Amino acid sequence: MKQYKPKEFSEMLNVSVKTLQRWDNQGVLTAYRNPKGRYFVSVLCELEEMATKLALNKIGLGIDLGVKDFATRSDGIVHENINKTIKVKKIEKRLKREQRSLARKFENLKKRGEKSVTNKRVNIDKNVLRVQKLHARLASIRIEYVKSIVTNVVKTKPTFITVEDLNVKGMMKNKHLSKTIAKQSFFAFKTWLLTKCEEYGIELRQVDPFYPSSKLCSCCSQKKADLKLSDRVYTCECGNVMDRDLNAAINLLQTKEYTILT
């Protein structure tokens, strides 16, 4: 997202800064402040619809979303789980430290009584702002990463893309995976992918949540009912041995049971 100073933005529109202020008062512009304390201006524009259809390839693409890696594609490309990177882990560690500090301050206020609330409020507000900034930073990193993956996928120019309609609510019931799944931004990925597929004329296919993409052999279609979540390599009696997620992505590519979203 490109950011401009008020003067730079006014020069782009060939208007004065005072005109921008007047537009803000009239509701033409919408100014807001994000959790980091930064101010932004939202502008509503009317643009002519432009033809952005790509010259697509004759091949499709299956994408298996997961926890170990964010996405595994049928062409063999794997997009890592950004939440496992050192950068994100450092921010999360700092966030936990700030949250513990904030909790201690509130606990001390309760012990001291209401008289000390006013005196300590400034420090608490600063602590709250630091927590909000870290939350916003993590959210921004995850969303930008999701967008970069979608852009990378679209650039391959597939005729169609097949994804699974994940039962996120059901997955969130697993106490061991709920936090990890919440950080994955699957909904944001699907929303952005849908937008880009519509924009570039790529057919987006979605399979049922109960489609056994992980349990089917991508070579002979035999179903391995006893496959466990801990089994990372898919081994079939037909001799097929491959990564579990890659096998699932290929099954999504080959399936004939789907709903067209675009």
172 and 184: one domain?
yes
pLDDT for the residue numbered 166: 82
pLDDT in tens, 109-158: 777 765 555 556 777 888 888 999 999 899 989 999 999 999 999 999 99
pLDDT tens digit sequence for 227-258: 887 888 988 888 889 999 999 999 999 999 89
Rounded distance, CA 232 to CA 144, Å? 28
If asked whether residues 40 and 58 sit together in one domain, one would say no
- Which of 231, 185, 232 shows the shortest CA–CA distance to 83? 185
The values of phi and psi at residue 97, to 5°, are: -65, -45
**Are 89 and 187 in the same domain?**
yes
Using CB atoms within 10 A of its CB, is residue 181 exposed (0-12), middle (13-18) or buried (19+)?
middle
* pLDDT given at position 61: 95
Could you tell me if 14 and 90 lie in one domain? no
Check whether 27 has a pLDDT greater than 70. no
Q: What percent of the chain stands above pLDDT 70?
A: 82
Residue-averaged pLDDT of the chain: 83
Q: For position 9, which CATH number holds? A: 1.10.1660.10
User: Does 35 lie in the same domain as 80?
Assistant: no
Contacts of 170 (CB under 8 A, 6+ apart): 209
**174 shares a domain with 159:** yes
**Residue 62 binned pLDDT confidence (cut-offs 50, 70, 90):** very high
| Residue span of the structural domain in which 6 resides | 1-46
pLDDT band (50, 70, 90) for residue 164: very high
Using CA atoms, how far apart are residues 151 and 147, in angstroms rounded to an integer?
6
Task: Give the mean model confidence (pLDDT) for residues 156-163.
Answer: 94
Burial 104-121 (b: 16+ CB within 10 A, else e): eeeeebeeeeeeeeeeee
Domain total for the chain?
2
| Coil, strand or helix at 64 | strand
Claim to verify: residue 196 and residue 77 sit in the same structural domain: yes
52 and 15 inside one domain:
no
pTM score: 0.76
Least confident of 20-34, 60-74, 177-191: 20-34
- Asked if 56 and 124 sit in the same domain, the reply is yes
The answer on 139 and 35 residing in a single domain is no
* pLDDT over 60 at 76, yes or no: yes
